[in-house]
Structures are given as C-alpha cells and as structure tokens.
Amino acid sequence: MQNIGAVDLHILGAVSLEQTPEGVKPWRIPHEERELFVPNVINGKPEVPAGVRVEFESDTTVVAVGFAASESDRLFDCVVDGVKFATKTAAPGETQVVFEGLKPGMKRIEVYLSQCRPVTLTHMLIDDGAAYVKPQVEGRLRWIAYGSSITQCEAAESPSQTWPAIVANRMNWHLTCLGFSANCHLEPMVARMIRDLPADFISLCLGINVMGGSSYTMRTFRAAVIGLVKTIRDRHPDIPILLQSPIYSKEREVTPNKADMTLPIFRSEIYEAYQLLRSHGDTSLYYLNGLDVLDESYADYLPDLLHPNAEGYKIMAERFERALRNTVPELFVKLQ
C-alpha cells in the first residue's frame, strides 16, 4: 500500500501540531506555550483531539491510520462525502485502524480522531496508485466552538457524532472545537488564543464549569464574560460571536454553588453582558439561551443530570442549528 507520512497528513481542527519522536500530535492550544495554560495545561484537555480530523480526497478503497499505542480504548470515524462510513475501536496497545470497502472513485475522506483520548499520528496507508489530494478549505466558514465537556462530548456515539461536528459537517463548515471538559473558565490565555485564530464565526458556551467550580462570583462573572468578548474583538472586530448560556440541568437550576449562583443567575448574567456590549456598539454579538437548545423536556437525555447522552448530542446538534438560524440568520445569508 501507499504510505503517507504523518508530516504529510492534512490535519484540520487542531490549533497546533507537535512533532514528536513517534509522529505528529495535534493540540487544541499552541503546544509551545502549554505551560502558560495553567493549571496543568488546562488539566490535560487540549491534547485530546476533539473535532480534529485528517481530511483528503482520494479514489482509494482502503484507509489505514497509524498512531502511537495507548493504554486506553480510542474510537476513530471514517466519514466519506459527509456521511459516516464506519467507526473503528483501537484497543489498548493497538497502533492502527483499517477502514475497508470504501466506494470506488474520487471522494472526500475525513478520519476523525478520538474526542476522549490523546492521539499521536504516525502514518496513513491508502491503495497503491491511489490519488492523495489535500482539499481546499478557504471557502468554508471557519467556526470556533468554545465550551465545556458539553462541547467536547465524550459521551457522543463516536468522534464525528459530537454536536459541533454534526453541525459543521451538515453546514460544510471548518470546525475548531475548543470544548475543554470541566475547564471552560474563561481564562485570559484561552481568550488570547481565540483572538489570534482565524475565524468567521465564534460560539462561546459559558457558565456550566464556572457553576461547578465556583470560579467566579456575581461580582466577577459578568466582567469576565465582557473581558472575554472584548479580547476576542481585538482581532475579530466584525464577525458574528454567539454568547450561549447553559442547557438545562435539574439540580443546578435551583441549588446554588459555593458562590451562591444557580444556572438561572448565570443565564441572566450572560444576557446582561450581551446587552451591555450591544449597547456599546457590538452589533455582531448575539445571545442564545441554552434552554432554547435543551430544556427540561429533554431531561431524559441527560442521564447524569448534566451531560447529554449519545442521542442527546444528536438532538442538541439539530436544535442548535435551528436556534442558530433563528438567532443569526444573516450568518447563513452572508455565507451562501
């Protein structure tokens, strides 16, 4: 078979790529500055390649993806022309997954990496004589989705079935997923990173990790939201930015955290920040109430009373897209 080295792979959705002795490791922060992303490199979440995929065009009928061994299971998806072809599981110690029986002829192939565990890519194999073309991505809307575990989506059916990946695939958008499980705390280094990344649209799903960690109070949370948006606006002055408040979570709706805040308070504070920024001229800022994505009627899809299950993430994708079309209709008109 034809061997494509790791350095020649067309990897999308990563913020940076680290060349290691084993291969190429995608990161969702600038890996050279990892020590500045405290605590503990955002507790290890940026080295998990949620939303990261290898994309190419080829007439191959087989794709084998090689990677460094791990002590944990990892799932990989093969998506062909926008449709999930297959999911493969790499057991602990395994270093390759193989997707066979792809349709003949040229097609766009995406291999999504695990949204739960780090992956270091070593190589890819395709049919002898098959084409290997890196597709153009310049015409696609570049979407940065920042959030918590509900954006990283560990409980999704597979890597291409997270709600951001489903929406991006359906819309043919270029996704960079910055969902950091338990670690969406509006840190200045993350704000600066988002500011410096290319983007046509940015969504900021805020509040649930701050609720869990009691990391801001009524005195500081709204200020942090405003600071996050204003930092991003330094280099993205006009693009649509969506402020999204938390989805439904039964106990957190009524039980205050250590800072005496509940989810309704977070929703109100995010909305107030939105109103203030709009009143000061930010007409490209939008607000989406998380209850318009998943409210109490979807509680059965939240088995731990917080995170959607696999089906819940699919529902969330559908409802987020619908809500986005209603909230930011000009986004879709402008980029048709």
pLDDT digits (tens, 9 = 90+) for 117-149: 999 999 999 999 999 999 888 889 999 999 999
C-alpha to C-alpha distance for 106 and 131, rounded to whole angstroms: 8
DSSP one-letter code for 101: -
Distances (CA, A) of 6 to 20, 85, 96: 11, 22, 13
Residue 143: φ, ψ to 5°: -115, 125
Residue length, the chain? 336
Residue 318 identity (one-letter amino acid): E
Structural domains in the chain plus CATH codes: 2-126 (2.60.120.260), 142-334 (3.40.50.1110)
Tell me the average confidence (pLDDT) per consecutive run of 10 residues in the chain, 336 residues long.
Answer: 97 98 98 98 98 98 98 98 98 98 98 98 98 90 98 98 98 97 98 98 98 98 98 98 98 98 98 98 98 98 98 98 94 66
Instruction: Take residue 246 and report the two structure tokens written for it.
Output: 């938390």
Omega within 30 of 0 (cis) for the link into 39 = yes
> Is 248 in contact with 290 (CB distance < 8 Å)?
yes
Instruction: Take residue 115 and report the two structure tokens written for it.
Output: 């949204």
| pLDDT, position 334 | 54
C-alpha to C-alpha distance for 175 and 140, rounded to whole angstroms: 9
Helix, strand, coil % in the chain, rounded to nearest 5: 35, 25, 40
C-alpha to C-alpha distance for 208 and 248, rounded to whole angstroms: 10
Handedness of CA 157, 159, 160, 163 (dihedral sign): positive
pTM of full prediction above 0.95 = yes
Residue 271 identity (one-letter amino acid): Y
> Is 161 in contact with 310 (CB distance < 8 Å)?
yes
DSSP one-letter code for 213: H
| pLDDT, position 138 | 81
Cα dihedral 229, 233, 234, 235, rounded to 10, equals: 130
| pLDDT, position 333 | 75
Instruction: Take residue 312 and report the two structure tokens written for it.
Output: 């819940």
Instruction: Take residue 175 and report the two structure tokens written for it.
Output: 């996704």
- Sheet holding 285-288: strands in order across? 174-179, 142-147, 201-205, 241-244, 285-288
| pLDDT, position 331 | 83
- 265: helix, coil or strand? helix
> Is 28 in contact with 11 (CB distance < 8 Å)?
no
Instruction: Take residue 78 and report the two structure tokens written for it.
Output: 């093969």
175 has which bridge partners?
143
